[in-house]
Amino acid sequence: MFFRLPLVRLVATGVFVLLLESVTRAAKLTAAEAGDSTAEKRKQAAPSTKSAAGGKATTQAPAADSATNSAPRLGFHGSMDVLRMGDSVSVIYSDIPSPPAPSTQQIREDGKITLHMNYTVTAAGKTRGDLEREIRELYVDQAKVYRDITIAIQTATRFVSIGGEVRTPGALPHNGDLTVLKVINAAGGFTDFAKKTSVVITRASDKSQITVDCKRAQKDPSKDVLVYPGDAIFVKKSIW
């Protein structure tokens, strides 16, 4: 009896310790599972957040200046007041001592013209008013040749000519964007004797020549060459 009481107490204490360890272990497991669950949720949410943000941060490009945008296109689109390659322009200088004679020239293939004192500017893609202001700033603000100067731009009426094996050869107004096929259609189309694979365009700007295969151009619009004011188109006669 003397030895039984301590033994009972010892057993009870052992059971209590085991129960306490079990409860502690269970609590730790629950906490760990909760942590894993939270981490998994965060992991799953991360891609959607990245996707919603678009991955890497992107910066929207600012709207480009209209003059800068139109210059590379060389005035093919937009208002009819916009200068184009092949346009004949006269630059008139005034309000300066001994002004030079007006300079009349065609806008070259690169879209540029050469001015008084051998300055070169891009004319194509700009309105007459914009070009006048740019030339004035060149002589007054940039080169500082004059204290003040007045510039006036005059343009000739735009035409394109077509001859050879078309039904209505002659001169046609150049209004807006024109391609070789559009000009041929405006001239009534090919005759029965036309050599459609060898249509020659003579550029007004530098008298260079381009040969166009209009059969290919009819199938592939990217082969339909642009025609500029003053250009001349000639449709050869087929020998077959």
152-164 pLDDT, tens digit per residue, is 998 888 899 999 9
Of 104, 120, 155, the last residue of a domain is: 155
Q: Are 59 and 81 within 8 A, CB to CB?
A: no
Q: CA 197, CA 202: separation in Å to the nearest integer?
A: 16
Of 155, 186, 202, the last residue of a domain is: 155
Residue 71 predicted with pLDDT over 80: no
Q: Please tell me the predicted confidence (pLDDT) of residue 65.
A: 36
Of 112, 131, 155, the last residue of a domain is: 155
- Which residue type does 78 have? G
6-39 pLDDT, tens digit per residue, is 555 555 555 555 555 655 565 555 555 555 554 4
* Neighbour count for residue 234 (Cβ, 10 Å): 17
Q: What total number of domains does the chain contain?
A: 2
- Pair (150, 96) in one structural domain: yes
Q: Nearest 10 degrees: CA dihedral of 190, 193, 197, 201?
A: -60
For the whole prediction, is pTM greater than 0.75? Answer: no
Which domain range does residue 89 map to? 73-155
Q: Please tell me the predicted confidence (pLDDT) of residue 72.
A: 33
Q: CA 82, CA 53: separation in Å to the nearest integer?
A: 42
Q: CA 232, CA 39: separation in Å to the nearest integer?
A: 74
> Is residue 173 a part of any domain in this protein?
yes
* Neighbour count for residue 228 (Cβ, 10 Å): 24
> Is residue 59 a part of any domain in this protein?
no
Q: CA 237, CA 225: separation in Å to the nearest integer?
A: 20
Q: Please tell me the predicted confidence (pLDDT) of residue 40.
A: 52
Residue 131 predicted with pLDDT over 80: yes
Q: Which residue has the tokens 């189309």?
A: 189
In terms of pLDDT, which residue wins out, 175 or 223? 223
